[in-house]
């Protein structure tokens, strides 16, 4: 028997971390044997039979890659697959972007959107002048907090979701951004805000651009749902392109998990756009050099397979059109589920207003259900969703939407007042 030796990592030094709530939710769902259980927690697309969907165009691209005699498993360059990153930049910024034409952008392939946010945060922690805070929407994707905390950038929030209207608290958002110290970092969701599904209108985006410019704030766009939100790639990238046109220096974290269904392949990109000027190309060259050093120290080289699939589709006109059709299929099914859920709740006369279900966009909807109601739904109806009332619309389908709507109606009536 081995001798007993005390550890250097006691419970005081390394406390037990809380379980990630969404992964815990998934585990509870899997352990539930009830035949009508409903999973509305997962942040991944599901088809009408609640199955993962491999995009038909992705299957085609995989077949092309499989037959390519030149395919190998060598390292990619530190900055990633150039055919992928350049196409990714055109996708988010627009092929006719002034920033691309003036060669004041750089792009680095990352471990999906999470890796892109981290690389951007790390770069800003190391090189952004002063000691800026980063401002997130309240609420935001939970991982934003951890990523920026890990690189020691102080965190603050701006109001975003209005519990009374279940829409955007635009006045609160503007006031907090206006009150923030000049040169703060403002993290913005490019489209399909996670977790609320509430986006600013174009007029509101224009107001935000004016405000951020007045305050010399630095915009950090997180874009996880381009094309997936509305089915229209240009529409979903509008805010980013508008800010670039307005002359902002900014950065973008871009994910291809949702819009290509490449969740496990971790294909993403980080883009930096510097302001126009006579030395813009030198500036972006310096920035790119430092991003490469940061990437080298963290992952050395990004993974190839997902980038090859996405790059192939993005650079082939026929495959690109097929991908756009697949995007319309996914976005269209979710929009249909939104309309159906709203209609069923209104038909039953479920207490409250439900127009926010169709006003919101993208994979998620903030239902307005309380934590108490959410837990009741889980305990009684075997419906699994985040405690804050967020549901993944992709978890709804023609087989379970009646069951879910009736369960919501019942719990809302029973917990009124």
Active site residue 174: no
Strand runs labelled E in 101-217: 105-111, 134-138, 155-159, 161-162, 167-168, 185-189
One-letter-per-residue 3-state SS of 217-281: CEEEEEECCCCCCCCCHHHHCHHHHHHHHCCCCEEEEEECHHHHCCHHHCEEEEEEECCCCCCHH
Active site residue 222: yes
CB-side neighbour CA atoms (13 Å) of 384: 22
Nearest to 208 by CA among 238, 178, 169, 164: 178
Active site residue 258: yes
Q: Rounded to an integer, what distance in angstroms lies between the CA atom of residue 257 and that of residue 228?
A: 10
- CA 168 vs CA 189, 190, 262, 322: distances in Å: 13, 15, 30, 34
Q: Find the catalytic residue in 60, 166, 258, 344.
A: 258
CB-side neighbour CA atoms (13 Å) of 91: 32
Q: Find the catalytic residue in 39, 133, 141, 236.
A: 141
User: Which helix (DSSP H) or strand (DSSP E) does residue 39 occupy?
Assistant: strand 38-39
Q: Find the catalytic residue in 222, 236, 323, 354.
A: 222
Q: How many CB atoms lie within 10 A of CB 3?
A: 4
Residue 139: DSSP 8-state = S
User: Which helix (DSSP H) or strand (DSSP E) does residue 208 occupy?
Assistant: helix 202-214
Q: Rounded to an integer, what distance in angstroms lies between the CA atom of residue 129 and that of residue 196?
A: 32
Q: Rounded to an integer, what distance in angstroms lies between the CA atom of residue 173 and that of residue 175?
A: 6
Can you say whether residue 222 is alpha, beta or left, with left for phi > 0 and alpha for psi between -120 and 50 degrees? beta
Give Cα 34 to chain centroid, integer Å: 31
Dihedral over Cα of 394, 396, 398, 399: its sign: positive
> Where in the sequence numbering do the catalytic residues fall?
141, 222, 258
């Amino acid at each position: 028997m081995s001798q007993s030796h005390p550890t250097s990592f006691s419970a005081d030094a390394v406390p037990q971390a809380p379980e990630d709530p969404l992964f815990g939710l998934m585990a509870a769902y899997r352990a539930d044997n009830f035949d009508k259980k409903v999973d509305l927690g997962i942040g991944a697309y599901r088809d009408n039979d609640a199955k993962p969907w491999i995009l038909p165009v992705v299957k085609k691209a995989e077949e092309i890659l499989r037959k390519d005699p030149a395919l190998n498993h060598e390292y990619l360059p530190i900055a990633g697959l150039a055919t992928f990153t350049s196409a990714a930049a055109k996708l988010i910024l627009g092929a006719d972007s002034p920033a691309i034409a003036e060669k004041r952008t750089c792009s680095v392939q990352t471990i999906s959107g999470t890796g892109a946010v981290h690389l951007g945060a790390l770069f800003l922690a190391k090189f952004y002048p002063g000691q800026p805070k980063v401002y997130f929407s309240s609420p935001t994707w939970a991982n934003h907090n951890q990523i920026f905390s890990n690189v020691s950038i102080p965190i603050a929030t701006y109001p975003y979701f209005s519990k009374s209207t279940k829409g955007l608290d635009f006045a609160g958002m503007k006031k907090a951004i206006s009150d923030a110290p000049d040169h703060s970092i403002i993290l913005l969701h490019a489209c399909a805000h996670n977790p609320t599904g509430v986006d600013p209108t174009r007029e509101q985006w224009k107001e935000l651009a004016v405000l951020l410019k007045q305050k010399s704030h630095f915009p950090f766009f997180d874009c996880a749902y381009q094309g997936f939100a509305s089915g229209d790639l240009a529409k979903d990238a509008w805010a980013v392109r508008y800010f670039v046109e307005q002359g902002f220096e900014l950065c973008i974290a871009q994910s291809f998990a949702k819009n290509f269904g490449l969740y496990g392949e971790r294909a993403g990109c980080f883009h930096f756009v510097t302001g126009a000027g006579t030395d813009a190309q030198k500036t972006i060259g310096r920035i790119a050099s430092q991003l490469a050093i940061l990437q080298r120290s963290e992952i050395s080289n990004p993974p190839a397979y997902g980038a090859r699939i996405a790059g192939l589709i993005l650079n082939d006109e026929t495959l690109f059109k097929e991908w756009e059709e697949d995007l319309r299929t996914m976005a269209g099914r979710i929009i249909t589920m939104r309309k159906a859920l709203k209609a069923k709740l209104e038909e039953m006369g479920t207490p409250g207003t439900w127009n926010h279900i169709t006003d919101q966009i993208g994979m998620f909807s903030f239902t307005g259900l309380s934590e108490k109601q959410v837990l009741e739904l889980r305990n009684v109806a075997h419906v699994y969703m985040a405690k804050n009332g967020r549901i993944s619309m992709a978890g709804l389908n023609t087989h379970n939407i009646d069951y879910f709507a009736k369960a919501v109606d019942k719990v809302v009536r029973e917990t009124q007042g």
